Each structure stands twice: as structure tokens, then as C-alpha cells.
Structure 1
Amino acid sequence: EAQEALVELGTRTPAPTSHVRIGGRELAGLSRNRAVELGRRLRDAAGLGAWTRDGDDPWYAARILTPDDASKALDITTRHSTSGLDHAARQLNAILSESHVPEANSLEDWKAAFATMADVRETLEVFRPEVFDIPLKEHIAATATRDWRDNREIEMGWLERWRIRQQTKRLLRPGRPPANLHEELVSASEQREHWFELVGGGGRPEISPRLDEGLALLGSLTADLEWLDDRLQPGPDGQTLTSLPLARLRERLKALAARPDRIAVLPQVTAVLDEMREAGLGPLVDDLARRGTPTEQVTAEVEHVWWASLAQEITVRDPAYGAHDGAGLRRDVAEFAEADRDHQKATVERVRSAVARNVREVLSDNPAHEALVRAEAGKARRHKPLRDLMPQASTTLTAIKPCWAMSPLVVASTLPPGRWFDVVIFDEASQVQPAQAISAISRARQVVVAGDERQLPPTNFFTVVSDDESDSSAGADDALTEGFESVLDVLAAALQTRNLTWHYRSRDERLIAFANESMYDGRLTTFPGTSIDSAVTFEPVDGQAEVQPGVDAIETTDGEVARVVELVLEHARNRPSESLGVIALGIKHADRLEDAITEALRSAPDVAAFFDEAREERFFVKNLERVQGDERDAIILSIGYGKTPHGRVLHRFGPLNNEGGERRLNVAITRARARMTVVSALRAADLDPSRLKARGATMLRDFLAYAESRGVAADDGTLFEAAPATSDPLRSDLARRLRREGLTVHEDYGTASHRIDIAIEDPYHRGRALVAVETDGDRYAALRSTRDRDRLRPEQLARLGWVHERVWTTDLFRDPAREIARL
């Protein structure tokens, strides 16, 4: 999440750039929601003027909390930036001059000078001015206690002390002597030194009679400046107003007074700024103010700092992430895939060994069975029926041949009653009626039913024979295609169910996408093909016919038959290596197509080899009921139904109008491996949804819309809707970088839910995708096993012609240039 968030923030214009990071303790107390909330509040404060765009705000971070404070701050700065400070300076320096003290150049100098002058004046109220003429060390010692002198190792006799005390008394002013002469002398000595330092030499002090006036003026000025200092941030060099030289103080006061607009907003934003500092975001606030960050960029900066701090904390605390090695991970994946393939290959030998071991054990334990089976095998004729042989040598027979395959219709006539097998497996179980399955189920201890309940149900197509072979009514077709309940339907309610969702047949998922969405709710895992052009094409024809007596539908038209014949011959000539099948929705249309193709082949000897019955996957023409289980590289799906000569559509579609008609159509549209061509005299727009009552007929309209769009999208309101595209900032950033390298890139490539993150076209074969780039994002994590993620999916994409490349998002986040170069 941190990586994706930081990449997404980096794509914004302008991108956030703060280098501030939050420490671990502050970060631990700052949740994602809290960070978002503070970001919004700081944005609002910036909008009110918490700082200026030029980053030069003398009032920045000043603690002016109330309108009264704002008014007082404005008064002080205005008064002292105009005449107040200069007037005070003149008055104070004049008093210093009257006292023969050099002029001061700062408030601190004034305070020191006036403090010394005040102390000297107090000394002169006790002593005569002559006290400043002589050193006072002997006087201090003579008036001190014995302990004081002993501590300082001063030896002074009584007579000497008496003499010096007498001298000291002559230094006192007339009047009542001080209570503690010694302390007064110490103070006088200190004042003497301070005075000499102040005036730069010796001499008796002369204190201006306006000292009190100066002290009052200085006190007022100091109080104003200290009040501001308590609320202002120190200057760039850390100096306060009271410590600044007079010239710089004057400049700063002028700068403060020049921005009264900034004072007005401070009561509104100070609380927010305090809250930011309490949350550990003070350095970020200072950084934004210094750079004059615009209001609209504040939230992005806060988010950037929070996510970057989180990523930094994870890097430090999580060794697996901090020491991530993408190349090493790819090596691990390759080694796992190879080991898994080796394991799979070795399993074949393990199974064969187990079967051989079982055969040896069974033959050893049952020599009579072996003799009987060998005797039967040696006969040229008159073999015992399996029904008779099975009870006598079942263990040996099933050991020699562990897997038996037969139709459920012949089980009862082939095998005697009894449980002869461990497991019976039904394939295409949706076409097996329960009564036909009972014999097989009763001859095993367990049953596995494999089938697709969304494909053909059991029908009478292969078991019903019409009494009147010339009967061509729709009723006869309906009788042949009427559906029944299957053993799959019955047992699905009783047995544990596991869905096999990976679809391997289609080499291009657009061949299965419609069925996936409309019949399987998008649950199938499908794989995109490498062709940018769709594997689904639509061939419209002008198909009209008269409604024949006794028939309520137009099931076949000359125009469509002719076009299908052309397409079949064209395929045989241009793609002879690809197998082909033709599927018709109706029986009559299938018969007409087969007759027309047979007739056309009489005059096309150049394609005779393609239609050879001995081909591994020979050409076929079949109707809906006969095609389940078949698949071909290419399929021509001929709809057959047409319009009246007046252009009217009768909206009668044979078996599709019956219950379960959508299952029949689902079979027809899922037989192609590489490409499918839909030939139809009808378009989706020709069919009125209000007249389509059966789901099969509605699905036909939707499928026609899908085919007309070449497998891209369908009309509004149809069943098909491609899985929504996903947003992945890391993937989008990678795609942008690849495009800058001159490559043609498709993001989120495919139609199903598990798409290829980035498909890169072959630069030498335009229209063909070459490289499938997949990250380790949500889709990777959604695959349930390591085998699915790191072997089966890459192998299936490779079978479809892709070069699969895994990009670890951590590598992409830390060093995108290296990943671009590798790709």
C-alpha cells in the first residue's frame, strides 16, 4: 500500500517533494485516518493563510491566539516601527550621555547600562563618591568576620583592622550607618568594577537626574518586545527581538508591521498548527511554510510524508522487506517450478511402479486367477463373457487393468452386479440420466461426477426415432431436443462439490468471455491470447425466406448457407493446418449446410485432403445437440434463423425457446480453440427484447451483440459485461516508463478478472503481443497456491505464445530504471 500510494503521489503534477520523515514513536500514534484528517485541517489552515506562497512570512508560527492578542501585536509593531523605537533610543542615549556613558546599540546594552547606573546610584546613597577612587579589598576584609578571613587565608591584625575601619567610616555619607557595612562594601566594589567596564575607564560616576525617567521608558520598551518574543518564532539565527542590534530590530519590526494581514489570520490557524506539532508534524509544517506550498498541494504533501515514513519504518523493522532481493526471488521461483515439474514427471513412474507391484502381489496371492485369465486370453474364440469371468477373477482383472472405460448404457450388460471397482467417474455427467447411471454407481465404492450443469442436459436426440422420417415440423425437433434431469443435477445436491475454474481450451479468452460472464458469473480463470485483433468475427448475410406450410419459423436461408460454404472452403485453402467445425443451431439448417458443403467439394478437388475422414480432428457439421465434447481450432457458428421477405423476424428459435435453451447455446459458443466466426442473417438490433421470453433466446440476442462488437463489448442491457478494469499506480507508472522507451503497451490486458498487468507488443510484429508483465499485486496474491501463481499460470501463458516476466513491485518501487532495462 505504501509503495502504490507513493508512486501514485509521484505521478501528480506537481508531485509532493517534502523530505521530512516522522519518527517511529510519532508514527505509531498517527493512524492513516488521523493523518488524512490532519492533512485536511492543515490544508484549510493554509487556505486561511497559515503561511505565504513566497515563504517570506515574518509572522509565521506566531502564537497569537485571540483577536485581542492580534490587536496588541499590531499596535506594538506599528508604534515601534515608526517613531516609538527611535524616540526611545534618543531618550535613553541622551540619559547615558548625561551620565558620561557611551551610547548603547541594543536593548540588551541599554538594560545592562541602566541596571549598572541604578546600582551605582544606590551605592552613592550609602557612600561618598570617593568610594570609587580607591580599591576596597582591605576595607572588605577589615569589616568581615574572622571565619570569612580564615576561609580566604587573610591575616590582618586588630590594630590594622581598626585603622581601616576608621577610614571606611569616613567614606560613608552622613546619617544612619548601614546595618551591614561589609555587604555594602562588597556591593560597592562590584559596582565600581561594573562602572569602569561601562564607561571604559576610571573616575567618579555622575548619574543623570533623569535615570528614573529612563528606567521607566526602558521598562515599557522591554515589556513590549518581550511580549512579542513570547509569541514569535526566533529569527533565522535564533535571536530574539530583545537581543537584536538596534538596526536589525528596527528592520524586523518594520517587516512585522508591514504585514497586518498576516496578524489577522493567526488566531484562526494557530490552534491547527499546534495540533500538527503535537502530532509530530511540526517539521513538516515548517518545511511547507518555508517553501510556500500552495493550499491545493498540502494534503498530498502530508500523505507523502506519512506514507514515506511508514515505508521507511517497514524497511527498518521488517528484514524480509528491507533485504528484498528480486533476482534471488526469481531464481527461487524458477527452481520451484523446475522441481515441481520433476515431481510431476516422477509421479508417473511412481504410479506405474505401484501398479506393477500390485499386479505381482495379486498374481502371487491368486495363482488360480492368473491361470484362468491366461487361459481365456489364449483362446481364439468362445471367450467367457465378462459377466461370468468377473466373479471368478475380479481381483486379477482389475489389477492388470486398473482403469476401465465404457458407456453407462452398457455397464449392466458388461459387468455383473457387485462392487468391483473402488471409484466410478462420470464424464459429461450433465448428459447422463439418473436411471442410466445407476448400474455404474452400484458397481463401485465411490463416485466422482464430472460435468457442467450449464451445458447440455440429457436429451432424446440419440434414442428417439421418428415414426415419420419426412416429418419436418418444429414439434419433431422439440421432441428430439427436450431436456431431462441429469445425474449431475441429482448428485450435486448430495455430494461435496469442487469447481474447476481454470479454462484451458480457448487460446484467446474472448472466445469464452461471453459464456464466462453470462453463464458462469465470471468465475472462470481465462487467459488472453497474443493477438491484439479479436478471435471473434461476425459475418452478416442477407438471409430471407418464405415461411413454409406447417412451420412457424425460418430456420435456414440460402444466403447464409452460401456464405458458410465460402468460409469453409476459404479456411481449407488458407489454414489447412487448423481443424474446423461448423455448428448450426437447428437440425434442418445443419442438414442443409452439410449437403451444400458436400456438393461444393465436388468442384474443389484442391481441398480434398482437408476433409479426409482419416484426419485426427476431421471436419464436421453438427447441430447443437451433437456437439458437446467436440472442439476445433476454428468454429463457424451458423445461426440459420432469418427474416421473411418483408424483413420481419418471427422470434421463434427452436430449442433455444425451450427451458434450458441457454445451456444448448452455451455449448455451441464454447467449442473454438483459436477463432470463431459467427454467420447470421439476424443482428442483435433485429430482435425485440420484449418478445424474447426464454432465457436462451435472450442470450442469443446478447451473443449476437457481443459477436458484432468482435468480443469487445455488448449493447447496454445485455448479459455480457467485461470485468471492470483495476487501478494500480505502480503498474501505470511502469507502463508510462515503457512507453517512453518507444514500446506499445496495453495495461490491464484481457477481459476476465485475472488479467495481464501489462502486455507489450512485439516491436517487429505489430498487432501481436509478446511479453506478459505481471506484478506481485492483489491478483498474484489471490491465486491460492504457489503452484498456481508461479508455475501453472506462467506455463499456460507460455503455451499461448507469451513470454512471461514477473516484476516484483518492491524492485519497481526502489529502482524502476533497472526493471525497465531488464524488460
Structure 2
Amino acid sequence: MPHTSSCSPVEMLQGVIGAIRTLAPYQRFRIRAATISPEAMRVFAALRAREAALRAVPAEALEDLVRRTLRREALLAWKGRVEAARPELLLEREEIERKVKSLAELDREMRALNKRLLAGDIDRDQLGTQAAWEEITRLRGPRMKRLREILDQGADLGLMRMRPVWLMNPDVASRVLPLKAGLFNLVIYDEASQMPVEHAVPTLFRAQRVVISGDEKQMPPTSFFASRIDGDEDDELDGDMLDDAATEAERTAHEETWNRREVKDCPDLLQLGRGTLPATTLEIHYRSKYRELIGYSNAAFYSGALSVPAQHPEVEIRRVCPIEVIRADGIYEGQTNATEAQCVVDVLAKIWSAAPEARPSIGVVTFNRKQADLVEDAIQRRALEDPAFMRAYQQERDRTQGGEDMGFFVKNVENVQGDERDVIVFSTTFGRDKHGGFRRNFGVLGQTGGERRLNVAVTRAREKVILVTSMPINDVSDWLASGRGPNKPRDYLQAYLDYASKMSIGELGVARGTAVRLGTQSASREVRHETDGFAASVERFLKDHGYRPAASLAGDAFSLDFAIEDPTTGLFGIGIECDAPRHLFLDRARAREIWRPAVMSRAVPAVHRVSSHAWYHRPQDERRRLHAAVQAALGKERK
């Protein structure tokens, strides 16, 4: 209140009375001002320039307005500092597109150069003469060489330089390759979880470096016929530790003995490698055409870490039903289930009734060997009775695809690792006996490591799983009812049966909930766009123009912020990215801008990226670009 000598006492008193209501806030401000930093006081001083506008705001809304104003200005200042430190954030869209195009061209050029280098990097002067090669490669006559002799003598003629890559199993390698340390610069082991360490030793000896590839969540080596190998080290170690008085020679001998025992007791090469070598996890899953085919294993065994390119609307998933359950409810007798075997044959007959070019490749997996034999017998009987079925059976049994064997097979669950087909038909075999009893005895699936065998089996299908079952799901285990975590192989079996059953009837959310219970990932991976103002603004814009954007999954290298269904196909016609995707796999520009779009194009034909910078700085242009991209992808106008 201004004070002048012309003010009368009454006017001064009226002024004091009018200011009384501000006294308490003023006193609070004085107390807080003593603790406020000079920087914060300068902020309040800056607000003085907006005093007139602030006084026009209703008192009850003033505090919220000031808070939001300060937050906005702080964010703008932070944005300015980030852009100053990272000027590439201010690059225009056209410049980014030019850089991506240049990178793609250089990548193609690099690949072409690598091919030419590999094809031409042979010094012919270091190869033997034609006469020398003819001498060792005779395939007939008394001077014919055995394969081992050809490889042994060919090494001196430059065979390894001319054919640097060899594909063979450990047994063949042991029998035909020269016994020479470090013969190969690199030896790669595939499916190492199935390779006993002793089988790998001969090729390890021939390697300078090794790469061990395998999945510890899949099947270990079959040990039914294996015997324990005893050695002197069992007696030498016997639980005793060396004392401080042990000599250096004794310590060396003790360490060597311990290493021999560790190698001997290791169940497979993959486990041995994991304990001693640096590890890299491959977390991209390409096989499954539908996420639902890998969803159970991703949650149960891989903590939800797998990235899957496949993207489909839920309506499409319910239509194609990638996991179908057929209740046979047959009698389990003599370790077989005749009703299920006949049902499997009926499924095959239906699929094989299509023209050969329209048939998917098929494999049948049973839960024990006797059921596999029974299914084979049932197929043979049907083939003898039905000429059309016989023709289809013969055609599918000899089927190849791209030079690879894609023939029909019937295998038990222990022998299916490494196989994949478009459709896998399961006969779960077990069920109630003729008296109505049900035993929790599931063969190898109920034994230690049974969940690994289950994981292998349920991930063999590229397009569809058909589960023919007689198992009463609620009686397989108490896991579903208990609410506890899985700790027995039958828990995983029950969970898969429940997951498959829910998927089969279109209860996708319930099925995913079952899978989530098995793993350690968050119970929900849905994108929460309400916490992202930019994404929420893009979503509102799309909805305002008549589209129904579906949120994708978070945390996946192939996830999209939104995807829009094409009504003419029932599939996603376009995916929307709110700025560049953020994922550990996509840190490098090549992965983010070249590899990912190439893979994504198989699932979603168009992907449009919205720039947050342009969305706020050039809103009309960026919104127009988005609308045009969606119209072009869906091929029709909206309002």
C-alpha cells in the first residue's frame, strides 16, 4: 500500500484492512524466502513481468498455473541445453533420410566387397598342381584314397585355403580330419546343449578359437544309456583341500585334477562354456509367424526378453487361431491313447485334402515313443484304405523346400529338437485310464529337465499348433489353483495346456496372464501413453480422424507406438513410431534404420515415424504428413 502524507488516517486504515487477507501469505513467503536459493528468487523476479496476467487468474487456480508455468519453462531450458549438446537432434527430416539412404548404400557396398574378397582371396601359387590334386582325389581304382587320406594329404596342397568352411558332426570330424592342433582358426558348435563334453574334445583340440551356440532352456544330451565315467580324480580330491605347506607341484597337480573332474562332471558343452567363456544372448525370434506361438516360452523360460517381429490385430489372432486345442478325451492304456492317434490321422486327412501347393509342412509330436509308433500305424492303415490320403502322405513325406528337407514326420518329444514345420500336431497321449483314474506320470516331461523338453516341442511350429489332448488340465498339477510359482516340470506342462486352451477359445488376455505367472517380467507390458504427452497427442489426432490406433508392446525391439488395422485385409496396414524406437538392440544406426525396417516390413507393410520436434514446432506440416501416410497405407480417405 503506497504511503503519502496526503492520505488521511481513515484511508490508511482502510488500506490496512484491505491488505489483512494477504498478511498470512506474506508472512509465510518471508519465512520461505529465507530458505530459497538466489536462483529461485530470480525466477520469481522474472514472474514480476507477468504480474498483470497473473493477477487476472482466479486465486484458486493461481498456484497450479505458476507450477505448470515453471515446469514448462524448466523443460524448455533443459531441451535447449540438450539440443546445444546434441545438435543432431535438430536435423531436419530430409537430412536424416539422406543420411539413412547413404548408410544403406554403403552397407550394400560393404557386403558386396566382402563377397568379392572371400571369393578372390586365394593365392593360386600356394595351391598344389593339377597333377597332385588328381592323384589324391581318385575315387576309383587301386590308388583310390580314403576321405581321411584326401584331407590329410590335401592340407599340404592348400585344401583348407580353397575350402575354408567345413560342416560335419563331431564323430565324422574325429574320424576324417587330420589330428592337428589348431587345424581350424574357428570351430562353431551348434545345439551345444545336446553335445556331451567328451564328444566335443576332438574338435576342441583342432580349434584355435571356439564359438559355442545353444539354448540352456532346451534339451540336454540324452543320458538314458550313459554310464558314469569314474577316474582317479574322484579318489584324489575326495573333499580334501591342500594345506599351506603344499608344494607348487602339488598345487599344480591338484588344480589339473580339479579341472579334469569339472570337465568330466559337466552335463554338456554349453554348460561347460557358460562357466568359462564370455556369453552373448541372442534375443531375436524369427520362426513364429504369430507372437502367440512363442508367447508361452518367452514368458516361462526367457523372462519376456525375446523380440518378435510378428504383429497382428487380436481379431486376426482369433480368426486364424494359431494354437488350436482338440479334446479327444481318449483312454490312456498301455502307454498309448488310440483315440488321440485316430484324431491325429483325421487332422492330417483334413489338411492334406487341399491341393499340394496349398498344404503346409507338418510334423507330429507325441509325448512318448509308443504313441509315436501307434500314430504311425494309424497313418499306414488310413493310407491303405484311402488312395488320396496315400498320395498326399507320400508327397508330404518326401517334401523339400529350398533344398531343405521339409518332409512329414512323426517323432516323440525327445527327438524333435532342431526340426521346424509350418504346423505341428501334438498328441499329448496321457489321460484317464478305463476306470477314470489319472496318474501324474508324464514320462520324460515329468522328470528333471522335462520343462526344457516341453520348451523345445512347443516352439517347433512356424504357423500353427494343433494340440490333441485327453489330459484333464486341472489334475495335471496344483499350480493353477495354488497361485505359487512353478517349481516342478508338471507345473510348466499344466501351464502350457491352460495357455493353449485359452488361446484356442480366443481368451487372449487370460492366456497371456497364465504365461506371465511363469516368468519374471512385469505383469503388463502395454504401452502407457497417458504418461507420454507426445504419444497421447498423436493418438488423439489419429482418433479424431476416424482411426483406431492399437498400442503395441513395450520393451520389444520391434514394438510400435501404434498400429492401425487395414479393414480390407484384417492385418495391420501401418505402424506409427513416435520418434525413433528406443531399445538396447537399436543403439547403432544400422540396426535401427536398416535392419529393423527390413525385418518389420514382413509383418507391417508401412511404418511412419512422427518427429516430436516437428510435431510441436511445425504442427500443421507434421500432422499433414502423418495423415497422408495413413491414407496412403490404407488406400482410402477418412475425414
TM exceeding 0.5 = yes
Q: Does the 8 Å contact 2:148/2:176 carry over to 1? A: yes
The TM-score with structure 1 as length reference comes to 0.60
Between the aligned partners of 2:292 and 2:383, the Cα distance in structure 1 is 32
Between the aligned partners of 1:703 and 1:403, the Cα distance in structure 2 is 40
Give the letter for the 2:526 counterpart. Answer: A
Between the aligned partners of 2:52 and 2:339, the Cα distance in structure 1 is 79
Q: What is the SS of the residue equivalent to 1:506?
A: coil
2:465 counterpart (673, 676, 695) = 676
Residues 488-540 of structure 1: CA deviation (Å, up to 9, x unaligned) = 22222222322222222222222222212221222322223335333542314
Partner of 1:543: 329
Residues 123-167 of structure 1: CA deviation (Å, up to 9, x unaligned) = xxxxxxxxxxxxxxxxxxxxxxxxxxxxxxxxxxxxxxxxxxxxx
* Paired residues for 1:279-678 under 5 Å: 279-280=43-44, 281-283=47-49, 287-292=53-58, 294-295=60-61, 297-298=64-65, 301-302=68-69, 304-307=71-74, 309-310=76-77, 313-314=80-81, 317=84, 320=87, 323-354=90-121, 357-358=122-123, 360-363=124-127, 366-367=128-129, 370-382=130-142, 383-395=144-156, 396-419=158-181, 420-459=183-222, 485-530=267-312, 532=314, 533-534=316-317, 536-545=322-331, 547-548=333-334, 555-574=335-354, 576-606=358-388, 608-609=391-392, 611-612=394-395, 613-616=397-400, 617-645=406-434, 647-678=436-467
Q: Does the 8 Å contact 1:536/1:676 carry over to 2? A: yes
Q: What is the SS of the residue equivalent to 2:399?
A: coil
Between the aligned partners of 1:433 and 1:442, the Cα distance in structure 2 is 15
Between the aligned partners of 2:164 and 2:585, the Cα distance in structure 1 is 38
* Paired residues for 1:123-272 under 5 Å: 219=5, 221=7, 262-263=21-22, 266-267=25-26, 270-271=29-30
Give the letter for the 1:331 counterpart. Answer: R
Between the aligned partners of 1:624 and 1:664, the Cα distance in structure 2 is 7
Q: Does the 8 Å contact 1:434/1:487 carry over to 2? A: yes
Partner of 1:40: none
Q: What is the SS of the residue equivalent to 1:493?
A: helix
1:449–1:308 CA distance, 2 compared to 1 (3 A): closer
Q: What is the SS of the residue equivalent to 1:445?
A: strand
2:489 counterpart (696, 700, 713) = 696
Q: What is the SS of the residue equivalent to 2:203?
A: helix
Q: What is the SS of the residue equivalent to 1:512?
A: helix
Quote the offset at 1:699 in angstroms. 1.0
Give the letter for the 1:520 counterpart. Answer: Y
Residues 57-89 of structure 1: CA deviation (Å, up to 9, x unaligned) = xxxxx79xxxxxxxxxxxx9xxxxxxxxxxxxx
Residues 407-460 of structure 1: CA deviation (Å, up to 9, x unaligned) = 211222223422332222221111111111122222232222221122111115
1:733–1:693 CA distance, 2 compared to 1 (3 A): closer
Q: Does the 8 Å contact 2:585/2:591 carry over to 1? A: no
Between the aligned partners of 1:683 and 1:259, the Cα distance in structure 2 is 81
Structure 1: stretches of 5+ with no match in the other structure: 1-61, 64-75, 77-106, 108-218, 229-252, 465-482, 549-554
Between the aligned partners of 1:408 and 1:263, the Cα distance in structure 2 is 89
Partner of 2:549: 745
Q: Does the 8 Å contact 1:425/1:447 carry over to 2? A: yes
Q: Does the 8 Å contact 1:556/1:640 carry over to 2? A: yes
Q: What is the SS of the residue equivalent to 1:424?
A: strand
Between the aligned partners of 1:519 and 1:387, the Cα distance in structure 2 is 43
Q: Does the 8 Å contact 1:421/1:445 carry over to 2? A: yes
Between the aligned partners of 2:100 and 2:572, the Cα distance in structure 1 is 24
Greater Rg by CA: 1
Between the aligned partners of 2:475 and 2:331, the Cα distance in structure 1 is 16
Root-mean-square deviation (CA), in Å?
3.6
Partner of 1:727: 528
Q: What is the SS of the residue equivalent to 1:651?
A: coil
Partner of 1:787: 590
1:346–1:684 CA distance, 2 compared to 1 (3 A): farther
Partner of 1:67: none
Quote the offset at 1:541 in angstroms. 0.8
Between the aligned partners of 2:119 and 2:96, the Cα distance in structure 1 is 35
Quote the offset at 1:397 in angstroms. 2.0
Between the aligned partners of 2:73 and 2:429, the Cα distance in structure 1 is 64
Give the letter for the 1:696 counterpart. Answer: P
Q: What is the SS of the residue equivalent to 1:715?
A: helix
Quote the offset at 1:384 in angstroms. 1.5
Residues 730-762 of structure 1: CA deviation (Å, up to 9, x unaligned) = 223212211222223111247857522211111
Between the aligned partners of 2:468 and 2:55, the Cα distance in structure 1 is 68
Between the aligned partners of 1:517 and 1:677, the Cα distance in structure 2 is 20
Give the letter for the 1:670 counterpart. Answer: T
1:789–1:257 CA distance, 2 compared to 1 (3 A): same
Residues 336-388 of structure 1: CA deviation (Å, up to 9, x unaligned) = 2233133223322221111xx23x1322xx44xx5332223345334212333
Q: What is the SS of the residue equivalent to 1:417?
A: coil
Structure 1, 667-676 or 779-788: larger mean CA deviation = 779-788
Q: Does the 8 Å contact 2:341/2:374 carry over to 1? A: yes
Give the letter for the 1:727 counterpart. Answer: R
Quote the offset at 1:224 in angstroms. 7.0
Structure 2: stretches of 5+ with no match in the other structure: 228-264, 401-405, 630-639
| Identity, % of aligned positions | 26
Superposed structure 1 runs of 4+ greater than 6 Å apart:
256-261, 272-276, 461-464, 690-694
Partner of 2:609: 806
Between the aligned partners of 2:10 and 2:186, the Cα distance in structure 1 is 99
Between the aligned partners of 1:666 and 1:442, the Cα distance in structure 2 is 32
Between the aligned partners of 1:629 and 1:289, the Cα distance in structure 2 is 74
